[in-house]
């Protein structure tokens, strides 16, 4: 019994909002937990479009102290970036990383992230 999934587009304005608050809202919409027909093993989420990602607000000393790490798998391959540098270069990446970690680690996590549009 195959059901068709109807995906609606949600527009979120990120101006003067904190990253975590927006990321939880986005993750809920991408996963489809706001729908009555939600099932954890199905990908029934919606499309989310975020505008004004460069106007996020950060509380505390996160811009100076928070670091993002990436590891290539090779010895000496650990790289780190400060949140302030990442915010200057690509503020959309901060939101994308936060949302990615809030989604469950299942096969269709990449498909959910493809429905996240950040402008």
Is 45 inside a domain boundary? yes
pLDDT at 2: 59
Q: What's the pLDDT at 83?
A: 97
79 assigned to some structural domain: no
Percent of the chain, pLDDT > 90?
Answer: 96
In a domain, 76, yes or no: no
Residue 3 lies in a domain: no
- Domain of residue 112: give its range: 9-58+92-118
- 113 located within any domain: yes
pTM comes to 0.92
The count of domains in the chain is 1
Amino acid 104: pLDDT: 97
Mean pLDDT of 69-96: 97
For the chain, where are the E strands, in sequence order? 9-13, 47-51, 67-71, 78-82, 116-118
CB atoms near residue 118 (< 10 Å):
21
Q: Is residue 2 part of a domain?
A: no
Residue 4 — very low, low, confident or very high, per pLDDT cuts 50/70/90?
Answer: confident
Tell me how far apart the alpha carbons of residues 37 and 54 are, in angstroms, rounded to a whole number. 34
CATH number at residue 38: 3.90.1180.10
In a domain, 24, yes or no: yes
Distance CA 108, CA 106 (A): 6
Q: Is residue 80 part of a domain?
A: no
* Residues with Cβ within 8 Å of residue 112, at least 6 apart in sequence: 30, 31, 43, 45, 103
């Amino acid at each position: 019994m195959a059901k068709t999934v109807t995906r609606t587009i949600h527009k979120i304005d990120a101006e003067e909002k904190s990253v975590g608050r927006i990321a939880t809202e986005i993750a809920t919409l991408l996963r489809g937990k706001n729908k009555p027909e939600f099932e954890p093993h199905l990908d029934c989420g919606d499309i989310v479009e975020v505008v004004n990602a460069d106007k996020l607000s950060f509380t505390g000393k996160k811009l100076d102290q928070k670091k993002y790490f990436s590891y290539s798998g090779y010895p000496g391959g650990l790289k780190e970036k400060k949140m302030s540098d990442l915010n200057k270069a690509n503020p959309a990446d901060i939101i994308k990383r936060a949302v990615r970690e809030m989604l469950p680690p299942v096969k269709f996590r990449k498909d959910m992230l493809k429905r996240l549009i950040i402008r």
